[in-house]
């Protein structure tokens, strides 16, 4: 199909309200025309001008199986022809949905029981908050409701999930966070540790702070702790040594549920099927989205632990039907897409690829960038990584934000044919390529990124 780029750009500018876009700069053309993305194959996308870009961020860390997988598009088409829709209310189901749910319960971390479906990571976290409240109401602990999340955590943009998100620019001017959500310190050793403090000591301190926060709020008032196994949008930051064991002990001590937000880390990105498995977490609820369908269809889920589900089932005679659900919960096309994607994840062992190619990627990132005078830290795990830029390496000081170092490096990479994301918190270049990325493709990503970083460094020093 040939499109008229000017016509599409004008229609878009006049009518689309774009997320995370400076509205005036877009409306006035200051930031140029929209990028019209037309096709994708493997780890590359092509825009309407015919420019090919390596997608070093897999869309938004989601197209894990890569673009153009006909196994998935054909599964979607087959299901659409056979039965495009039916709901899952009042015990209705489809074969694809039942098969998918059985797979998810078996593969998920922790002792899981049931799967509830939504359409986005945000709505799945919204569901998880309601499940925490429902569970504690049903078991006679009606005050145990506060949910603790972390500064720099990202859990979505809806009202509760946006409140869970721990970055103020997601709250400002939108009346968030709601008082049911309280934040605790981010486990980022580079920025948070005291001089000389080891990773293990720092982890123990963060756990002690959480313990103290729960004591202050009152253990009878705290229902759950929500966290990503590896911080994603807050800066792609793996946990410091010993963090999850120390946190888990505090949660167990106070009978506080753990919600593992595996929206990014689920289905292989860290080199394990789930981040919880990699870090020995024992979640009671697991949030999944993105990689579940590799974004070929909008689908998310809350995987509900046995402990919570038992209480829900036992309470059913008292409270009646479980009164929560969406028109599109368990959409059969989404389920078919997810089953086709999970087939690829399993047969091609994408967690194994993320582990192996990821180790190479992490080594290359460290080798090529860690010594640059504007680089403070290089970090990551599996196929997610970040380079954090600082104005003063010795004194650990950030660049003046007005220099926009992160966005400039990201733009320089883009001009050279690589999408690597300027993370919103600090001057950070983030990578999360598809899990099918090969070592040779990592070499391409690294060499373009190096050229981009050098070009901005030359302008700065
Ligand atoms: N949780 C995590 C860890 C995420 O990274 C995201 C999105 O990036 C979300 C939740 C929200 O997902 P969605 O954008 O599908 O609402």
Distance of CA 266 to the CA centre of its chain: 9
* Pairing of β 428-431 and β 384-389: antiparallel
Which one of 61, 121, 125 would you pick to mutate in the ligand 1 pocket, going by the greatest count of ligand atoms within 8 A of its CB?
121
Cα–Cα dist 351/268, whole Å: 4
pLDDT at 2: 80
**With a cut of 0.90, is the ipTM above it?**
yes
Distance 303 CA to ligand 1 centre (A): 15
Mean pLDDT by 10 residues, the chain (461 residues): 91 97 96 96 97 98 98 98 98 98 97 98 98 98 98 98 97 97 98 98 98 98 98 98 98 98 98 98 98 98 98 98 98 99 98 98 98 98 98 96 97 98 96 98 98 97 76
Distance 122 CA to ligand 1 centre (A): 6
Structure tokens that stand for 183 in this block: 């934040």
The enclosing H or E element of 318 equals helix 306-319
pLDDT at 290: 98
**Helix (H/G/I), strand (E/B), else coil: 107:** helix
Residues with CB under 6 A from ligand 1: 60, 120-122, 125, 154-156, 228, 232-233, 261, 263-264, 289
pLDDT at 88: 98
- Respond yes or no on whether the N-terminal peptide bond of residue 177 is cis (omega within 30° of 0): yes
pLDDT at 72: 98
**Do 296 and 336 meet the contact criterion of CB atoms below 8 Å apart?**
no
Predicted TM-score of the model (pTM):
0.98
Distance 159 CA to ligand 1 centre (A): 13
The enclosing H or E element of 340 equals helix 332-347
pLDDT at 461: 76
Distance 87 CA to ligand 1 centre (A): 24
Q: Which numbered atom of ligand 1 lies nearest the CA of 290? A: 15
pLDDT at 63: 98
Cα–Cα dist 282/247, whole Å: 11
First-to-last alpha carbon distance for the chain, in angstroms, is 46
Q: Which of 398, 399, 421, 391 is nearest to 409 (CA)?
A: 421
């Amino acid at each position: 199909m040939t499109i008229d780029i000017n016509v599409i750009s004008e229609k878009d500018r006049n009518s689309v309200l774009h997320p995370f876009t400076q509205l005036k700069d877009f409306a006035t053309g200051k930031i140029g025309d929209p990028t019209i993305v037309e096709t994708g194959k493997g780890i590359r996308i092509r825009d309407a001008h015919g420019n090919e870009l390596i997608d070093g961020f897999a869309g938004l860390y989601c197209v894990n199986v890569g673009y153009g997988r006909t196994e998935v598009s054909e599964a979607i088409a087959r299901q659409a022809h056979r039965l495009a829709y039916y709901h899952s209310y009042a015990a209705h189901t489809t074969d694809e949905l039942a098969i998918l749910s059985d797979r998810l319960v078996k593969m998920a971390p922790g002792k899981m029981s049931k799967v509830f479906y939504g359409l986005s990571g945000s709505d799945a976290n919204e569901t998880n908050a309601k499940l925490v409240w429902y569970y504690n109401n049903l078991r006679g602990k009606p005050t145990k409701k506060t949910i603790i999340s972390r500064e720099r955590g990202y859990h979505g943009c809806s009202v509760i999930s946006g409140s869970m998100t721990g970055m103020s620019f997601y709250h400002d001017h939108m009346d968030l966070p709601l008082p049911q959500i309280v934040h605790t310190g981010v486990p980022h050793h580079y920025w948070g540790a005291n001089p000389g403090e080891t990773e293990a000591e720092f982890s123990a301190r963060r756990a002690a702070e959480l313990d103290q926060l729960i004591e202050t709020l009152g253990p009878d008032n705290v229902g759950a702790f929500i966290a990503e196994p590896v911080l994603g949008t807050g800066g792609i930051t793996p946990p410091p040594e010993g963090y999850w064991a120390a946190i888990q002990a505090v949660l167990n001590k106070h009978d506080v549920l753990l919600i593992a937000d595996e929206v990014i880390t689920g289905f292989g990105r860290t080199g394990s099927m789930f981040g919880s498995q990699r870090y020995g977490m024992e979640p009671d609820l697991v949030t999944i989205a993105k990689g579940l369908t590799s974004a070929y269809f909008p689908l998310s889920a809350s995987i509900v632990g046995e402990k919570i589900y038992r209480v829900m089932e036992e309470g059913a005679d008292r409270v009646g039907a479980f009164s929560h659900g969406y028109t599109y919960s368990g959409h059969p096309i989404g389920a078919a897409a997810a089953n086709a994607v999970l087939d690829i994840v399993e047969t091609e062992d994408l967690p194994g690829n993320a582990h192996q190619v990821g180790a190479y990627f992490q080594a290359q990132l460290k080798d090529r960038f860690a010594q640059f005078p504007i680089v403070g830290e290089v970090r990551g795990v599996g196929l997610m990584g970040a380079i954090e830029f600082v104005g003063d390496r010795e004194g650990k000081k950030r660049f003046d934000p007005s220099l926009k170092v992160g966005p400039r490096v990201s733009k320089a990479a883009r001009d050279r044919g690589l999408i690597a994301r300027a993370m919103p918190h600090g001057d950070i270049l983030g990578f999360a390529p598809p899990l099918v990325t090969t070592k040779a493709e990592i070499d391409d990503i690294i060499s373009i990124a190096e050229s981009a970083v050098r070009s901005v460094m030359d302008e700065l020093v």
